[in-house]
Chain A
Amino acid sequence: MVPSALRAIVQLAEAGILSSNYTENATQWAEVWETQASQFFEVTIDSTTASSRLSNYITQANLTESLLYGAGALNDTQSAGSNGTNNTSAWGVAEQTIGGADNSTFYALSIARNGSLVEVLNSDLAFVLLYANNVSEGIIQATIEALQPYPRGLLTDVGMVVANAAYDSNVTNIEASPLETIECS
């Protein structure tokens, strides 16, 4: 949002709606924000780690392992991927899943005061889609990965969740589901 607000200042100044005195600083600052800020939020995860964190999360949260297979949380729906019904991958193809193929990068929900990343997959990519001027291939890739069925991504039978801690290296606060198991037909 900061870079988008700075770019808006530039646009309004160039159109003569705001004073042109703003143009130089806002342009330079937007450039710094656009190129430097997101690196602090990057979480890189390899496929072995992603897989073991997902399994641990399923166990700790008392969810059923079948969520990881077929179309996962969306097992009643049409599979989107060509291999969506096999036993190794979720809804999409491996390249569209975090940790599915090679190293994956997603963006932390926030950064704690001590500098540690809150490694929670989240829906705030939506703000990038809403406010960014040029939506890049990387954003589309991250969006596709986030839109996989829970717990690989954010989609459930009853809609999208806004946060998913399944890939978080901090596993101290996983709460077991209040239901015995969440069954997917």
Chain B
Amino acid sequence: MPRRDGRGLRFIRPVSPASLYLSQLMGSIQNNQSELGNTPEYNYVMVDTDFLLLPVLADYFLNYPQGQNRSTEFFARNSTLNQGTFEELLIKNVDHVLNLSMPFALNATQENLVQIRDPLVGNWRDSGTGLGYGIYPFDVNCKLPAISS
């Protein structure tokens, strides 16, 4: 189910401002909510997006010259979308990642792998058929071992 608690990451399909505007407009019309116009609607249903912020943030703050010594200033900012500072929201995401990864870390069975939340919109593949109706997606769960025979 869509969440608005800020733990996961929001998923926005379009990439250009023009397509963003069109997509929001079309989305509102298709949902019979044309009165919403181009008001953004945020959706947290895809499980893969939950794990994307931390690697990118770590890379930026630790490996890029322009990210050095920027974290304090960045974390102090208030979010305009959710209540709280960026630091408070980041901690929510960290705790969320730890909660999702804990069952398998403590007992490495197939059932404890991370599952999709919604059978229709599991990950970026965006459909049940896109994952062959599987519920444990490869992309979310894996980083390949050193040698794969």
Contact = CB atoms under 8 A, between A and B. Distances in A.
Contacts of A26: 98
Given A38-B145, A115-B110, A141-B148, A2 B58 contact: no
Contacts of B147: 136-138
Nearest to A6: B101
A123 B138 CA distance: 10
Contacts of A128: 142-144
Contacts of B149: 44, 103, 105, 138
Interface of A: 1-9, 11-12, 15, 17-18, 22, 25-26, 28-29, 32-42, 44, 103, 105, 107-113, 115, 118, 120, 122, 124-125, 127-128, 131-132, 134, 136-139, 141-142, 162-163, 165
Contacts of B102: 29
Contacts of A7: 55, 58
B88 to A, nearest CB: 13
A5 B55 contact: yes
Interface residues of B, number: 47
B144 A107 contact: yes
A40 B135 CA distance: 13
Given A12-B58, A33-B101, A107-B138, A139 B94 contact: no
B21 interface: no
A6 B146 CA distance: 18
Shortest 6 CB-CB contacts between residues of A and residues of B: A110-B134, A138-B148, A118-B132, A29-B105, A8-B54, A1-B51
